[in-house]
Chains A and B, each alone.
Chain A
Amino acid sequence: MLLSVENLYAGYGNVEAIHGITFHVNKGEIVTLIGANGAGKSTTLKAIMRLQPPEAPRLIKGDIKLNGNSIVDVKPHMVVNRLRMALVPEGRHIFGNLSVMENLVIATWNRRKDPHVHRDMGRIFELFPRLAERRTQRADTLSGGEQQMLAVGRALMTNCEILLLDEPSMGLAPLLMHEMFRTLSELNKQGLTIVVVEQNAHLALKTAHRGYVLDTGQVVAEGPSEKLATDPEVRKAYLGG
C-alpha cells in the first residue's frame, strides 16, 4: 500500500468539510475519487499534500500514511521533495508571469544534482508537443488546455512517484478531456501511481482501476471501476441514471 488515508477529518476554520474519510492507493494504480461538487474531494487532496491554512484545510483528526509512515507533520514542500508526491491543483495554478520553460524548471528546485532533469524535460515535451512549441511564451498566453498540460508537466518535473490530480478535465473541450485521460493512462503504464479527483465520473471510471464515491465529506461507495460504473445506486446518483 503506497498511500493510505485513515479516518480523516479536516475543515476550514470551524467548519468541518470531510468527516472520516478512509481510502488507500496501491503502487501502480490509478484510483479516482468521484462525487458531486462540495463532496470534499479537493479538500481531501489538499489535506493529503499537507498544504496549510488559510488556503488549505486544517487537519482535525485521522492519519495519512505514505509507505506506512505518517506524513501528518511533514511540510508540503518536503512532501514533494522527500516523499515524491505531487499535486496538480484545481484551477491549474500555473505561474502566468513565467515562461513555459521556467514553469517546468521551477519544479526542479530540489533536483540540483539530478542528472536526469534534462531527459525528463525532453519527455514532457514529447508527451505535450504543444508545450515545446511554446516554450519561450509567457504561460498566461496559453489556452486553457495548454495550461492544463503545463500544470501536469510541471508536476511531473518534480520527479514524483505518486501524482494527485484535482479536476484535470475542468474547462477542457471533450476531445482534450479524453486526451488528458489517455495521457494519464500512458503515464501510469510507465510506472506512475495516480490519484485523480473528477466530476466527470464516466471518464474517470473508464480510466481508473478503482474508485471511491464521496458524498458530503464521506465515502459512500468503493470498489473496482467496472463494478462502480455498473452499480445501480452509483449510476443513479452520480452517472445520470
Chain B
Amino acid sequence: METLFQNVVNALQWGSFYALIALGYTLVYGVLQLINFAHGDIFMVGAYIAFFVASFFLGDAVPFDLSRTAVLALTIPLTMILTSCVGVLLERIAYKPLRRKGAHRLYVVITALMCGLILENGNLALLGASRRSLPELIDKTVYTLGGIAVTNLKLWVIFTAVLVFVILQFVVMRTKIGMAMRAVSWDKFALPLMGIPLDTVILFTFILGSGIAGLGGMLFAMSYPVLDPYMGAMVGWKAFIAAVVGGIGDIRGAFIGGFLLAFIEIMVAAFLPSTFRDLFAFTILLAILWWRPTGLFGVPHTTKI
C-alpha cells in the first residue's frame, strides 16, 4: 500500500513534467496546426538557461551576496523570459518565412524536427559533452506521512504544474487574446477580418508555450540536476504523445494526458520488470487512440456549408 502511494507521488511529479511540455505542444498545434517537434529541445534549452542564470547570480560576477531564495526568485522569471525568446526566435527564423510562402504543413513539421536537432547539436558544439548540474536552489526537506516520503521539491513541481494549468485555462477561456487563440484554431482566414493581427496571436502562443517549457526545464533540472543536450528529446517525444492522447489542441487534454502517461509508466514499472515500461505504456496509449482517434478531449472539426 505504501509503495503504491509512493508511486502515485512519483507519477504526479513525472506527470507534471510531461504536462508542462505537452501544454506547449498543444498550444502551438491549436493555433498553427503545427507539431512543433523542436519543443522538447526548448525544454532542454530552458534547463540550460536556468543553469546559466542561477550560476550567474551565485557567482562572483554579482557584487553582492544573494540568498538562494532570491536567486530562485530571479531565476524563475528570467528563465521563462529567455526561453520564450528562444521560442519566438525559432518561430521568426524558421516557421514564419515558410508560412508566408504558403508552404505545406509537412515542410514546416520537418523544419521543426531540424530545428530541434540544431538546438541539440548547437548546444553540444557550444558547450561540449560535459554534463553540468544545476546548483541547489532550495533546501531539500523530506516529509514523511505514514511511510510515504515526499520532498518539498516534488510538491512544488506538482503545485506549479497545476497552477500553470489553471492560469493557462483562464487565459485561453476568459481573455480576449485567449479567445483569439481559440478562434485561430478554428479559422485562420477570418481572424484579420476581426481586426486582429494573426502574427501577434502566434507570437503570444509561442511566448506562452516556450515560457512554460522553460519553467518545466528548470524544475526538471532542479529535481534531476544533471543536464545534457539530449535530455529534452525523449521527454519531449513522450510529452508529445501525451498531448495527442489527451486530444491535441485541447489544454485539458494535454494536462490530463501528461499525468495519464506518467501513471501508466510508473504503474507498469511498479509491477513488471522495468524493461517492459515503455513497451506497455505505449501499447496502452495506442489502445486509447484506437478507441478514440482524436484523443480523450479532441473533437473532429466540422463546418456547415
Do A and B truly interact? yes
Residues of A within 8 A of B (CB): 49, 51, 53-55, 75-77, 80-81, 86-87, 89, 91, 93-98, 102, 105-107, 109-110, 140, 142, 144, 147, 154-155, 158, 171
Residues from chain A with a CB closer than 8 A to the CB of B196 are 77, 106, 109
Q: Given that A98-B182, A102-B179, A140-B302 are known contacts, is A154 also in contact with B194, CB under 8 Å in the complex?
A: yes
Q: Could you tell me which residues of chain B, from 176 to 203, have a CB within 8 Å of some CB in chain A?
A: 176, 179-180, 182-183, 185-190, 192-198
How many inter-chain residue pairs (CB < 8 Å) link A and B?
A: 84
Q: Could you tell me which residues of chain B, from 273 to 303, have a CB within 8 Å of some CB in chain A?
A: 301-303
Please tell me if the beta carbons of A80 and B192 are within 8 angstroms of each other in the complex: yes
A110: nearest chain-B partner, CB-CB:
B195
Nearest CB of A to B252, in Å: 14
Please tell me if the beta carbons of A89 and B192 are within 8 angstroms of each other in the complex: no
Residues from chain B with a CB closer than 8 A to the CB of A80 are 192-195
B305 within 8 A of A: yes
Please tell me if the beta carbons of B179 and A98 are within 8 angstroms of each other in the complex: yes
Please tell me if the beta carbons of A97 and B182 are within 8 angstroms of each other in the complex: yes
B304 within 8 A of A: yes
Please tell me if the beta carbons of A97 and B194 are within 8 angstroms of each other in the complex: no
Nearest CB of A to B39, in Å: 23
A-B contact pairs, 7 of them (CB 8 A): A54-B102, A77-B197, A97-B182, A97-B185, A98-B182, A106-B176, A109-B196
Grouping DSSP codes into helix (H, G, I), strand (E, B) and loop, the B interface class, with mixed when no group exceeds half, is loop
Indicate the member of B183, B186, B187, B194 with the most A CB atoms within 10 Å.
B194
Please tell me if the beta carbons of B186 and A81 are within 8 angstroms of each other in the complex: no
Q: Give Cα distance in the complex from A144 to B304, angstroms.
A: 7
Please tell me if the beta carbons of B195 and A95 are within 8 angstroms of each other in the complex: no
Please tell me if the beta carbons of A105 and B176 are within 8 angstroms of each other in the complex: yes
Please tell me if the beta carbons of A109 and B194 are within 8 angstroms of each other in the complex: yes
Indicate the member of B102, B176, B192, B305 with the most A CB atoms within 10 Å.
B192
Grouping DSSP codes into helix (H, G, I), strand (E, B) and loop, the A interface class, with mixed when no group exceeds half, is loop
Residues from chain A with a CB closer than 8 A to the CB of B179 are 98, 102, 105-106
Q: Give Cα distance in the complex from A155 to B102, angstroms.
A: 26
Residues from chain A with a CB closer than 8 A to the CB of B176 are 105-106, 109
Please tell me if the beta carbons of A106 and B192 are within 8 angstroms of each other in the complex: no
List 5 extra interface pairs beyond A86-B193, A140-B302, CB under 8 A. Answer: A75-B192, A89-B190, A140-B304, A154-B194, A158-B193
Please tell me if the beta carbons of B193 and A155 are within 8 angstroms of each other in the complex: yes
Q: Give Cα distance in the complex from A75 to B176, angstroms.
A: 21
B99: nearest chain-A partner, CB-CB:
A54
Residues from chain B with a CB closer than 8 A to the CB of A97 are 182-183, 185-186
Residues from chain B with a CB closer than 8 A to the CB of A147 are 304
Please tell me if the beta carbons of A89 and B183 are within 8 angstroms of each other in the complex: no
Q: Give Cα distance in the complex from A155 to B185, angstroms.
A: 19
Nearest CB of B to A50, in Å: 9
Please tell me if the beta carbons of A98 and B183 are within 8 angstroms of each other in the complex: yes
Which of A76, A91, A106, A158 meets B183, CB within 8 Å? A106
Residues from chain A with a CB closer than 8 A to the CB of B194 are 77, 80, 106-107, 109, 154, 158
Residues from chain A with a CB closer than 8 A to the CB of B183 are 95, 97-98, 106
Indicate the member of A54, A76, A96, A106 with the most B CB atoms within 10 Å.
A106
Which of A95, A105, A140, A171 meets B190, CB within 8 Å? A95
Q: Give Cα distance in the complex from A51 to B187, angstroms.
A: 14
Which of B186, B189, B198, B305 meets A89, CB within 8 Å? B189
Residues from chain A with a CB closer than 8 A to the CB of B190 are 89, 93-95
Residues from chain A with a CB closer than 8 A to the CB of B186 are 95-98
Residues from chain A with a CB closer than 8 A to the CB of B198 are 77
Q: Give Cα distance in the complex from A77 to B189, angstroms.
A: 11
Which of A53, A102, A140 meets B303, CB within 8 Å? A140
B249: nearest chain-A partner, CB-CB:
A97
Residues from chain A with a CB closer than 8 A to the CB of B192 are 51, 75-77, 80
Nearest CB of B to A155, in Å: 7
Q: Give Cα distance in the complex from A80 to B198, angstroms.
A: 13
Please tell me if the beta carbons of A107 and B182 are within 8 angstroms of each other in the complex: no
Indicate the member of A54, A81, A95 with the most B CB atoms within 10 Å.
A95
Q: Given that A98-B179, A106-B180 are known contacts, is A171 also in contact with B305, CB under 8 Å in the complex?
A: yes
Please tell me if the beta carbons of A49 and B193 are within 8 angstroms of each other in the complex: yes
Q: Give Cα distance in the complex from A155 to B182, angstroms.
A: 18
A49: nearest chain-B partner, CB-CB:
B193
Q: Give Cα distance in the complex from A91 to B197, angstroms.
A: 21
Q: Give Cα distance in the complex from A1 to B270, angstroms.
A: 77
Nearest CB of B to A143, in Å: 8
Which of A49, A51, A95, A109 meets B182, CB within 8 Å? A95
Q: Given that A55-B189, A105-B176, A109-B176 are known contacts, is A96 also in contact with B303, CB under 8 Å in the complex?
A: yes
